[in-house]
Structure 1
Amino acid sequence: MRAMCEKVIPSPNCSWRYCLYRLPEIPFNWHYHPEYEICLTLNSRGVCHIGDYIAPYGDYDLVLLGPELPHTWQSKINTDLSEQIVHVAQIPAPWLESMVAQHPELQQLEELLSGARRGLRFSQQLAKQCQALFENMEQASPLQRYVLLMDMLTRMAQSQYDYLSSAGFRFDYRQDPAKDKFDRVISFIYDNYTEKLSADMLAEHAHMSTNHFHRFFKKRTERTVTEFINQLRIAKACKLLINTSSPITVISDQCGFNNISNFNRRFQTIKNCTPSQFRTRLQQRALI
C-alpha cells in the first residue's frame, strides 16, 4: 500500500505542532510527513508499522520518528470501551536541525535525531515521564510548550532506546502519486488564503470532483478545507494584532473575512478569546 503525504500545520503561535487525540480505536493510516514526530500512545494495544518494522505495541508506547519515515498504528476498540489516547508532537526538521547546529547546548540531540531516521522506541519509564510533560502542554503557553518539548528531547537523548526500522530501509516519497497534486493545492491556498476561496474552486484546481476533493483534503490534513483556511487566516490576524495598530475591522478585511462577526466568531473558536481581548492581553503584558 502506498504511503500518503500528510500536511502538518504548526499550533497557533508555535513553530511546531502539538495535538491530543482521544479515540475509540486507531485506524490504519499509512502516511509520512517531513517533520520529526514524538508519539505517545496510551491505553491502546495493536500493531504498529514504522518503515519496514511491524510489531505489536502496548500501553505507554513512546517513539520518535524521523522525517519522511512512513508509519501508522492500528488498534481495535477496547473491551471496556475506554478511550485510547495519543499525544503527538510534530517538529519541522529544518527548524529543529538548525537549532541543534547553531547552539552547542543542543548538540547532545544530534545522535538522537540521526537515529530517529529509523524510528526509536523508549522505555515505559520514560513514557510515563513524557506523559506528564505532554499533559502540561495542553494548557501551556507557546513558550512553556517549547520548554516542555526541549525537556522531552533532552530526556530522550539521555535514555536508552531501540531502533525500529532496519538500517537499510529506504522510502521513496515519490511513490505517492497524488503528492504533487496535493502540494499544488496547498501552495495555491497559501498564496490566496486571504481571497475568496471555495471547495469547488480548489477541486477544479486539483482536477477532482468536489466530493472527492473534500475526502482527499481532510485525509491529508485532518481538517476540512474551511478549517484549514481559517487557521491560516487567524494566524495572520494574530501577527497583525501583535505588530500593527490597525483597527480590528481592517485586520478582518486584510485576512479575508467577509464580515466582522464572522471574524470574531472564527477567532474565538481557534484562540478562545476575541480579537480585542487578544490585543488587550498583549498590551497588558507589555506594561508589566
Structure 2
Amino acid sequence: MKPLLYQVARNIDEPVRVLKECHQHFYDNLHFHSEYQIMTIIEGKGTYFIGDSFGNFNSGDTFIIGANLPHFFRSNQEYYSPENGLLSQNISILFSPDALGEKFKDLQEFHVIKRFLEKSKSGLFLKGVARKKLLKSSKKITEKNGFDRLIYLFKIFNYLSQTDDLETLSHVTYDTEIKAGDTEKINSVIGFLLDNFTRDISLADAADVANLSVNAFCRYFKRHTRKTFSQFLNEIRIGNACRQLVEEDLSVKEAAFKSGYYNISYFNRQFKTITGCTPSSYCRNINIKHVH
C-alpha cells in the first residue's frame, strides 16, 4: 500500500540518463524510483508534492528528488484542455550510483557527492543564482554523451554541494522498503482532491472514493502522504490561493472563495499557518519582488 514504483528505462550499465519531455501536461500520479532525479521545468505551471511538501511550480524551477522519494507534478487545469494549445516541458537528469560500482563509490573524491545525494533524500528546491545556473546546465547536458555527460553531471553535483541556494522540501525521508502495489486508490483520492478542492469536500467524500470507512481512510491517507486529510486539502487550497494572488491579481477575498474557503477568518488562519504570513503580507512581498 505505497506509491507507484516507476521504472526508468535505461541500460543497466548506464549511470546517467537525460530525458527531454514535452507533453500536454506532466505525469501526475504519485510515484517513486530508485534513481536520483534533477528535474528542470522548461515550460509549464502547476502544483507539486514531494515527500510531505506541497507547493506551486513555474517555468525555470529545478527540483532535486532523492531515490525512493514519492512525488508528483500536476499541471494547472488549463493544461488538460487540448484546445488551449499549452505544453509542459521538462529536462530530467536521472542518476544511478549503483551503476558505477562499489569501488568507484568508495573513492574519497566521490564522498562529497554521496553527502549531497543523502541530502537530496528530503527533496531540494533551487533558488537564486543556483536556479538560473541549473536551467542553463540542464539544457547543456542534453548536448553531451557518454563519459562527457557523467563528468558534466559530477560538476553539477559539485556545484550544488557548495551552494547555499537550496531549500529542503520534505520533513520526512523514505526508506528503500517501498513496494509497488495498491497505487490506483491513493492516486484516485489525490486526483479527486485536486479536481474538486474548490467545493466543499468532506472526509466521508474522500473515504468513499477510496472505498474505505472514515477511520480506515484516515490511517491509509496518513500512511501514504504523511499528512492528515485536512492538512493535505488545506495545502492544496492555500497553494491555489497563492497562485491566484500572484498570477491573477485577485483580492484576498476572491482568492479565498475560488480556493474553496467561504469563511475569510478561517482562510486567513490557514494561510498564515501554511505560509508563515498573512495574505496581505504575502501580496506586499510579491509586489516588492516584482518591482525589483
TMscore range, shorter length: 0.5 to 0.7
- Whole-angstrom distance in 1 between the partners of 2:96 and 2:59: 27
Corresponding residue for residue 173 of structure 1: 178
Instruction: Note the C-alpha offset of 1:165.
Output: 1.1
Q: Distance in 2 between matches of 1:11 and 1:127?
A: 30
**1:143/1:45 CA distance change after superposition, 3 Å:** same
Give deviations 1:24-81, integer Å, cap 9, x for gaps: 2224121111111111112222110111111112222211111111111011346974
- CA gap of 1:169–1:134, structure 2 versus 1, over 3 A, is closer
SS at match of 2:119: helix
| Separation (CA, whole Å) in 1 of partners of 2:37 and 2:108 | 23
Over aligned residue pairs, what C-alpha RMSD do you find?
2.9
Alignment check: 8 A CA contact 1:65 1:118 kept: yes
Q: Does the 8 Å contact 1:67/1:93 carry over to 2?
A: no
| Contact 1:13-1:142 within 8 A present in 2 as well | no
Question: What's the CA shift for 1:20?
Answer: 0.6
Check conservation: 2:125, 2:167, Cα contact below 8 A: yes
C-alpha contact 2:16 2:94 (8 A) present in aligned 1: yes
1:48 aligns with 2:51: no
Matched with 1:131 is: 135
Amino acid at match of 1:84: S
Distance 1:39 1:97 in 2: 25
Q: Relative to 1, partners in 2 of residues 1:15 and 1:164: Cα closer, same or farther, differing over 3 Å?
A: same
Amino acid in structure 2 at the alignment position of 1:37:
Q
1:133 partner SS:
helix
Match of residue 148 from structure 1? 152
> 1:232 aligns to what?
none
**C-alpha distance 116-100 of structure 1, shift in aligned 2 (>3 A):** farther
Give the direction of change, closer, same or farther, for the CA distance of 1:100–1:83 in structure 2 (3 Å limit): farther
Query: What runs of 5+ residues in structure 1 fail to find an aligned partner?
Result: 179-288
Q: Counterparts of 2:103 and 2:125 in 1: how far apart (Å)?
A: 23
Q: Distance in 2 between matches of 1:165 and 1:75?
A: 20
Secondary structure of 1:127's aligned partner: helix
Deviation at 1:120, TM superposition (A): 1.1
SS in 2 for 1:174: coil
Fraction of identical pairs, as percent:
17
- Tell me how far 1:100 sits from its aligned partner: 6.8
Give the letter aligned to residue 107 of structure 1.
Answer: H
| 2:15 is equivalent to residue 15 of structure 1 | yes
Residues 52 and 170, structure 2, Cα contact 8 Å, conserved in 1 = yes
Deviation at 1:150, TM superposition (A): 1.1
Structure 1 residues 240-259: aligned runs within 5 Å: none
Letter paired with 2:96: P
Map residues 115-130 of structure 1 onto 2, 5 A cutoff: 115-130=119-134
3-state SS, counterpart of residue 144 of structure 1: helix
Consecutive unaligned residues of structure 2, counting only runs of 5 or more, are: 184-292
Q: 1:96-138, CA deviations, whole angstroms, 9 ceiling, x for partnerless residues?
A: 6947742222322233111111111111532322222222232
SS at 1:106 equivalent: helix
* C-alpha separation in 2, matches of 1:12 and 1:136: 24
Structure 2: how far apart are the matches of 1:16 and 1:170? Answer: 22
Matched, 1:94 2:98: yes
Indicate conservation of the 8 Å contact 1:50/1:164, yes or no. Answer: yes
CA distance in 1, matches of 2:179, 2:137: 36
1: CA distance, partners of 2:158 / 2:128: 16
Give the Cα–Cα distance (whole angstroms) in 2 for the partners of residues 150 and 49 of structure 1: 27
